[in-house]
C-alpha cells in the first residue's frame, strides 16, 4: 500500500483536517446521490475523519467508514454520532463481498493511489463489494486544469485557529511529472514555533485513464460531471466527478 502522508498519521495534523476541509458542496453532492439512489448499505473508502461518513449514517442505513490511518479513525471515533458508523481500519482489501448499494471515495481519495496496479486492485475490490447495479462515486482533480500550477506559498497560505493555537499552513510544489505532482506542506504551530513539514505526491489521472480503468474493472461509467452542481465536464473543469455502476 502507498505510504500514508504525515497529514493522516500525525495526530496534531489530523486535528487540523476538518478545519481545513469543512462541509462543502462536494459533501452535499454525495449526500444527495445517496438519497436519490436510496442507498441503504454504504461504504466510505478513505473516510478519514468521517465528517461526511457520520452525515450519511441516518436511520435505516448501514454505513461503514474504512481508512488505513489509525490516527484519522481515532479522531473519527471521538466525534458526535460516531457510534452510528462501523469503522474499519484498512484499505479496500477489507471491504469483502457485502452487496453494498454505494461505495464512495471523497475529497480526492482516488489521487492517493499513485501506482496503477494499486488503483486497479482497489477498483476490483470495490466492484466485488457492490451488489449488481450498485454504484461507485468519487472525484479526482482534472489534470487539464493544471491546478497545481496555482499552488504556491502565497496562494495557499492560511492562518487557522486550532485546538493547538494558531497554525499557519502553506504548500510548495516541488515537481510534476508523469501525472504525479510532488509538493511540500508546511504547518507552523505558532505557540511552539514548530513547523510540521509533510511531503506528498498526488496522482492526476486523465478522464480517459480513469474511464478505462473503470471499464477494465467491469464498471459502466454512468456519468462524469465537471462540478458539484452536476454541470458537464469541460476542458476548464477543475474536478471530474465519476459515477460508475457495477454490471
The 3-state DSSP class for residue 195 equals strand
- Using the rule CB under 6 A, which residue among 16, 112, 202, 224 binds ligand SAM? 112
Residue 123 sits at the vertex; the CA angle it makes with 19 and 69, to the nearest 5 degrees, is: 35
Q: In this structure, what C-alpha cell is assigned to residue 93?
A: 482489501
Instruction: Kindly provide the residue ranges of all beta strands, DSSP E only, lying in 6-80, ordered along the sequence.
Output: 41-45, 62-67
Nearest in space to 76 (alpha carbons), one of 43, 47, 39: 47
Residue 163 CB, nearest approach to ligand SAM (Å)? 18
Least distance (Å) between residue 191 CB and ligand SAM: 26
Q: Is residue 91 within the footprint of ligand SAM (CB under 6 A)?
A: yes
Q: Which helix (H) or strand (E) holds 75?
A: helix 70-77
Return the residue of 13, 42, 63, 67 that touches ligand SAM, per CB under 6 A: 67
Q: Are 168 and 16 in contact (CB under 8 A)?
A: no
In whole angstroms, the minimum distance from the beta carbon of 69 to ligand SAM comes to: 4
Q: What are the C-alpha distances in Å from 56 to residues 15, 28, 102, 204?
A: 21, 10, 11, 27
**Contact between 107 and ligand SAM (CB under 6 A)?**
yes
Q: Give me the residue label for grid cell 473516510.
A: 47
Q: Considering only 32-40, 74-82, 105-113, 234-242, which stretch makes contact with ligand SAM by CB under 6 A?
A: 105-113
Indicate whether 69 belongs to the interface with ligand SAM (CB under 6 A).
Answer: yes
Radius of gyration over every alpha carbon of the chain, rounded to an integer in angstroms: 18
Give residue number: closest CB to ligand SAM. Answer: 48
Instruction: Give the total of residues touching ligand SAM (CB under 6 A).
Output: 22
Cell of 34: 445517496
Which of positions 1-20 make contact with ligand SAM (CB under 6 A)? 1-2, 4, 8
By beta-carbon proximity to ligand SAM, the closer residue of 141 and 246 is 141
State the Cα–Cα distance between residues 22 and 28, nearest whole angstrom.
Answer: 12
**Of 16, 64, 68, 75, the one binding ligand SAM by CB under 6 A:** 68
Cβ at position 46, least distance to ligand SAM in Å: 3
Selected binder of ligand SAM within 34, 85, 109, 210 (CB under 6 A): 109
In the sheet that holds 165-177, the strands lie side by side as 158-162, 165-177, 180-189, 194-203
What kind and span of H or E run contains 80? none
Would you say 8 or 148 has its CB closer to ligand SAM?
Answer: 8
Site for ligand SAM in 34-53 (CB under 6 A): 45-48, 51-52
Binding span for ligand SAM by CB under 6 A among 33-41, 106-114, 143-151, 216-224:
106-114
Binding site for ligand SAM (CB under 6 A): 1-2, 4, 8, 21, 45-48, 51-52, 67-69, 72, 91-92, 106-109, 112
Amino acid at each position: 500500500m502507498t505510504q500514508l502522508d504525515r497529514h493522516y498519521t500525525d495526530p496534531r495534523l489530523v486535528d487540523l483536517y476538518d478545519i481545513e476541509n469543512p462541509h462543502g458542496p462536494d459533501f452535499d453532492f454525495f449526500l444527495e446521490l445517496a438519497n436519490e439512489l436510496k442507498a441503504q448499505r454504504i461504504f466510505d473508502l478513505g473516510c478519514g475523519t468521517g465528517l461526511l461518513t457520520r452525515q450519511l449514517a441516518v436511520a435505516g442505513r448501514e454505513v461503514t467508514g474504512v481508512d488505513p490511518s489509525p490516527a484519522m479513525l481515532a479522531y473519527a471515533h471521538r466525534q458526535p454520532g460516531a457510534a452510528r458508523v462501523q469503522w474499519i481500519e484498512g484499505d479496500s482489501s477489507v471491504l469483502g463481498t457485502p452487496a453494498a448499494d454505494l461505495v464512495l471515495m471523497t475529497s480526492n481519495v482516488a489521487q492517493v493511489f499513485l501506482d496503477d496496479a494499486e488503483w486497479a486492485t482497489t477498483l476490483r475490490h470495490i466492484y466485488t463489494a457492490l451488489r449488481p447495479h450498485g454504484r461507485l462515486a468519487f472525484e479526482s482533480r482534472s489534470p487539464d486544469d493544471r491546478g497545481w500550477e496555482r499552488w504556491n506559498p502565497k496562494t495557499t497560505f492560511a492562518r487557522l485557529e486550532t485546538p493547538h493555537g494558531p497554525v499557519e499552513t502553506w504548500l510548495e510544489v516541488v515537481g510534476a511529472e508523469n501525472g504525479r505532482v510532488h509538493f511540500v506542506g508546511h504547518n507552523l504551530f505558532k505557540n511552539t514555533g514548530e513547523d510540521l513539514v509533510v511531503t506528498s505526491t498526488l496522482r492526476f489521472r486523465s478522464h480517459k485513464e480513469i474511464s478505462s480503468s473503470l471499464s477494465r474493472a467491469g464498471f459502466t461509467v454512468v456519468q462524469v460531471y465537471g462540478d458539484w452542481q452536476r454541470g458537464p465536464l469541460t476542458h476548464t473543469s477543475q474536478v471530474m466527478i465519476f459515477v460508475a455502476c457495477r454490471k
